[in-house]
Structure 1
Amino acid sequence: MGKLIWLRKAYEMGFRPNSVSYNIMIKGWIKKGGWEQACNLFDEMLEKGVQPSVVTYNSFLGVLCRKGEMDTALCLFKNMTEKGHHPNAVTYALLMEGWCFIGKYKEAKKLMFDMEFHGCKLRPVNYGVLMTYLGKAGNIDEMESLLNEMKKRRLKPDVVTYNILVNYLCKEGRVGDAYKVLVKMQVGGCDPNAATYRMMIDGYCNAGDFDGAMKILNAMLMSGHCPHLKTFAFLVVGLLKGENNDDYVCFVLEEMEKRQLRFDAETWRTLIMDVCGQHVEIGRGNETLQDENEAQSAQMKFISKLMAGHTRV
């Protein structure tokens, strides 16, 4: 809220905010849950003759649509267009999200035709809203149809669009199909981001395919991205529960060390209990790992004992 305080002080000193300044303050209040304060600022804009922009309206539409308050959102949308403001792709995406939120997919898809009719070009974000709804409903085939439709329209899917499909394919256990999407996006000139790789690694781990997970991890590291600690932990647990994965485990922990990434004490307790299937502690009887230094040393103690052939750690 520092920006809001600064802008208010500037106003008291004679500075007169424009629409950009008001947009910053409105977004700040909305982010903090201050809907009434944001509405008051909107009224203040109008009183002082400062014209709201599309960004202003989108801020309010976003809140209304994500709550499913479509009647109010449509009234605001009508007010926006009547005053000569042209909605953009984000405006329509927000309305589509609202329709999807209340389960009216057909209304959401109809908006895609409406926006084209009014001269607003479709963007990946509009398809992304529909694909997310379909993914939650488990309709993967229709998601893929929408992706193909984008290509027919010569609209290049972005990494966010591809990630939506990859995410739900992995959740459905179709990690092989997710990998095909990963290859297609690269062939099409769209580079995966860190989220893409993380979803693929998690998908392979959930499927129990740790060879596949390690291949994706290698590709991820070579691309300059790094997994979250949660993903590293997921990998380590799965590898340790399997057989003949010692080299993989060492590689994962070494890569963590290179990047100065270490599990905290709580993660180590959870990890060790997951692997051993019982309550275990490292090195200090019934005492637990209390601080970060002990958690760091636990990493090497744990793996060294494992490599030495200990079945109880």
Structure 2
Amino acid sequence: MRALIPKCYKKSLISHLRARISLFSDPISIPIPLIPRIPPRRSLHDLPKHFTEAPNPSNSLLSSKILQSDPSPIAEAEEEDGPMNEFLSRFVFAIRPKLTAAFPDLARETLDAMLLLICQKVLAELDGAAAPAVGSVELSPDLWETVQEIANSVHEAMKKDRLREEIKKYLHCDEVKEMCRFAGDVGIRGDFLRELRFKWAREKLEEVEFYRELDRIRAQAQKGDENEGIEEENRGKPELTALPERKGRIKYKIYGLDLSDPKWAEVAERVEEAEKHIVPEEPKPIVGKSKKVDENILSLDAVKDDPLPVLEEWKGLVGPKRVDWVALLDRIKEKSSALYFKVAEHLLIEESFEAGIRDYWRLIDSHSKADCLKEAERILQKMIEKGITPDVLTCITLVHMYSKTGNLERTKEAFDSLRQQGFQPDFKVYNSMIMAYVKAGNPKSGESMAREMEARDIQPTKEIYMELLRAFAQQGQVDGAQRIVNTMEFSGIQRCVESSTLLVEAYGKSGDPDQARKLFDLMMKSGLKPDDRCTASMIRAYATKNQLDKALDLLLNLEKDGFRPGTAIYTVLVDWMGRLQMIEEAEHFLNNIREKGEDPPFEIHVSLCDMYCSAGIKEKTRENLKILEEKKHLLKADEFERIVSSLLDGGFVNDAKRMHNLMQAQGFPPSEALRVRISASQSIPSQRPSKSRSGKPRY
């Protein structure tokens, strides 16, 4: 409540109200009708509606001196009470209608007594002292809230009125008039001119108030200086009798530091060296002939041209330091990344470049991201030859690079080097290591790495679990696949169609179609609808045991529910029929794929090549074999084995040798049985079977 009234009003308010309220605190004062009728400890809002009081002329005369809306004669006589009289008048004028609306049945004298009591409470809050004892009446919280709101509104209104009066003074000052006259001369009229006039008056008022505040601060400072001067004069002035004798060296002390000590010279040298690292050195300006040579460097062809002669010429003209070489590399990188790699690799052996481990790492990392394994390994070898041991950043880059290429041994070397240097692998390093195990066909070690992640509170993602599950499923390791599925469910990852499909595929490759069918039925009961790929995995499981009747029964049951076979199912059926040498049925399913408007998948050509080789159909064998040779990078080791074996069985010895060489070129070592068959075919030529009319081979 004290904050409602400005400080300049407080003194006059307290003195004014205290003078008025003293009339009511007198023992012989006229009794107020409100007080005797209020029960003890009741608030004003608890008054009964039927409460009325006869008018009291003496009380009306007394309260009107305080509660009247018009300024009182006493306040007009005292100039210092002017702002307070205005506040009281506005306050009473604003709160009277609210009390009248709350108690419409009360007489005016009673309302005046209530207003008097409210003013007493307000005075007590402003003065910080207890209010005069007037019965035991207390204001209710709602009434206090209303009083505070009205006081705030009155204060804001008075503040706005004061500001308005101040602005009126400056609306007619010479400076504002001069600016308005100039604005009128340039054509500004109407409301816009009026807005500008008020704006200039407000700015003038702010300027005056600013300088008033400065004057007040200056006066306070001068007063403080005068007080200090008086205190210093009172102190005794020391008399100087003799100068102190000089002993030893002169000591320079700044903030308690003895700068005359020789150690500060060493500190200054170290600071100068540190500034060279903190404040980067500017490269030399490239002007004149060196600029022309610089342009020649930027115009070089990374493949055809040799940058060494031009770089030597540029070096002789500029006399570069490391900062100049770095600036040149930045300009080259903007033009051509290939030329940048070539020049940067040459600068690794340049003495003025002062190559460090970070320069080697940047090149290795850039080549790794560009999938340039040979270039990255060449830079790594140069770094090792120079005696620089790969640090943590370099080893992390090597882990990612070798994991991407599927080189498990080199990935493990980089990972072990990280651990030897005390680095705790993060999520990305663990992810690359797990993927390296998956690509190498060792999902069990990848699973162990995932367990290590969980032990360190690094939660593997769903993608990591799915890669491990896919690797276990491809190898037919049912136990590992089931463990991954259980771990996923324990981690809160719900089973989906993809995970169920991989689990069915794992049981199918392990030769257990019955268990695969149980999982398939369980998936359907749980509300997961099997897609084309999942159904194809189930049919492939039946194919391992040659249970054609169960596969057809499954397809018929699914077709009743509206399911239609897709490309994946037809691909499995083509492979199955091809192994059974049912050529017409296989070609029928192949035509079904083409009728869908889709190209046959790549793996179907392996089945067709095997089927036609076994049937001795030369033309179609060559046709499918040509497709396989064109996309040899997509073939896996087991597919190479199947193709070479089928070619040998069909008597296509030369084709078998060619595919055997392609298999080795792709990095897939042949099995011992296949190696023996290839060696035998070179010494004992096999007889090529002829084709019968029915399409079956005839020997």
Q: TM-score range by the shorter chain?
A: 0.5 to 0.7
CA 1:120–1:17 in structure 2 vs 1: closer, same or farther (change >3 Å)?
Answer: farther
Choose from 18, 33, 56 the match for 2:432: 56
Q: CA deviation at 1:140?
A: 0.9
**Structure 1 155/111 Cα, relative in aligned 2: closer, same or farther at 3 Å?**
same
Change (3 A) 1:43 1:30: farther
Amino acid at match of 2:438: G
Matches within 5 A, 1:78-227: 78-93=451-466, 94=468, 105=479, 108-109=481-482, 111-179=484-552, 184=558, 187-188=562-563, 191-193=566-568, 196-223=569-596, 224-226=598-600, 227=604
Q: Using the alignment, how far apart are the partners of 1:87 and 1:262 within structure 2? A: 37
- What amino acid does structure 2 have at the position aligned with 1:28? K
| Alignment partner of 1:234 is 2:611 | yes
- Bigger CA drift: 136-145 or 172-181? 172-181
Do the aligned partners of 2:504 and 2:516 also contact (CA within 8 Å) in 1? yes
Instruction: Write out per-residue CA displacement over residues 219-251 of structure 1, whole angstroms, 9 at most, x where no aligned residue.
Output: 13334333416514514754x7xxxxxxxx89x
TM-score (norm 1): 0.57
Report which stretch shifted further, 172-181 or 44-53.
44-53
- Compute the RMSD of aligned alpha carbons: 5.3
CA spacing shift, 1:229–1:131, aligned 2, 3 Å: closer
The question of whether the paired residues in 1 share the 8 Å contact of 2:462 and 2:493 is answered with: yes
Alignment correspondent of 1:282: none
The amino acid that maps onto 1:66 is N
TM (norm. structure 2) is 0.29
Distance in 2 (alpha carbons) for counterparts of 1:235 and 1:199: 17
* Residues 41 and 7 of structure 1, relative CA distance in 2, 3 Å threshold: farther
Q: Does the CA contact (< 8 Å) of 1:131 and 1:146 recur in 2?
A: yes
- Aligned residue pairs total 260
- Extract unaligned runs of 5+ from structure 2: 1-367, 384-391, 630-643, 653-689
**SS in structure 1 at match of 2:428:** coil
Question: Contact (CA 8 Å) 1:169, 1:178: kept in 2 or not?
Answer: yes
Deviates most, 174-183 or 146-155: 174-183
**C-alpha displacement at 1:213, in angstroms?**
1.9
Residue 154 of structure 1 deviates from its aligned partner by 3.4
Provide the C-alpha distance between the structure 1 equivalents of 2:649 and 2:431, rounded to a whole number of angstroms: 45
Per-residue CA deviation, residues 259-303 of structure 1 (Å, 9 max, x unaligned), is: 98699xx98885479xxxxxxxxxxxxxxxxxxxxxxxxxxxx98
Taking the aligned partners of 1:21 and 1:142, their CA distance within structure 2 comes to 44
What is the letter of the counterpart of residue 514 of structure 2? D
Q: Distance in 2 between matches of 1:173 and 1:65?
A: 27
Residues of 1 paired with 2:563 and 2:462: CA distance?
23
When residues 172 and 42 of structure 1 are mapped into structure 2, their CA distance, relative to the original with a 3 A threshold, is farther
CA contact (8 A) 2:543 2:576 kept: yes
- For 2:563 and 2:376, the matched residues in 1 are separated by 45
User: 1:25-81 CA deviation, whole Å, 9 max, x = no partner?
Assistant: 1413544643433424754997498653663353255379836458xx43x333312
Structure 1: stretches of 5+ with no match in the other structure = 241-248, 274-301
User: Structure 1 residues 41, 138: CA separation in 2 closer, same or farther (over 3 Å shift)?
Assistant: same
Instruction: Specify the structure having the higher radius of gyration (Cα).
Output: 2
Q: What whole-Å deviation, never above 9, does each CA across 1:98-148 have from its counterpart, x for those lacking one?
A: 69979773x753553442232123244433443244224432121012122
Matched to 1:192, the amino acid is: T
- Kept after mapping to 2: 8 A contact 1:100/1:108: no
CA distance in 2, matches of 1:38, 1:260: 40
1:96–1:109 CA contact under 8 A, matched in 2: no
Shift, 1:256, TM fit: 4.9
* Alpha-carbon distance between aligned partners in 2 of 1:255 and 1:29, rounded to the nearest angstrom: 32
